[in-house]
Amino acid sequence: MSNQFCQSCSMPMDDEKLLGTEKDRSVSRDYCIYCYENGELKQPSIDMEQMIEICVPHMKAHGMDESEVRKLLNQQLPQLKRWK
């Protein structure tokens, strides 16, 4: 599988089991299982700042510095389909 990133949270989707699902149960190549299920965003009303707050603790758990995580997400998220 190519190195894909969720177009909502920017999580790397390097395993098929991380792909979200469409209404017909096929996999979504754009969104992860945490953001997208059955053809819909799981949290459709959150804004980009709220998404950053959701992502920060997960990235910190993988040893990243919080200020670097915030900087990275503020650069990456606006480039993704969901936030354009």
> What are the pLDDT digits (tens) for 2-11?
569 999 999 9
- pLDDT exceeds 80 at position 17: yes
- Is pLDDT of 20 > 80? yes
Distances in Å between the Cα of 37 and the Cα atoms of 14, 22, 30, 72, 77 are 18, 6, 11, 26, 20
pLDDT reading at 22 higher than 90: yes
What was the pLDDT predicted at 60? 94
Buried b (16+ CB within 10 A) or exposed e, 35-60: bbbeeeeeeeebeeeebbeebeeebe
5 exposure class (CB count in 10 Å sphere: 0-12, 13-18, 19+)? middle
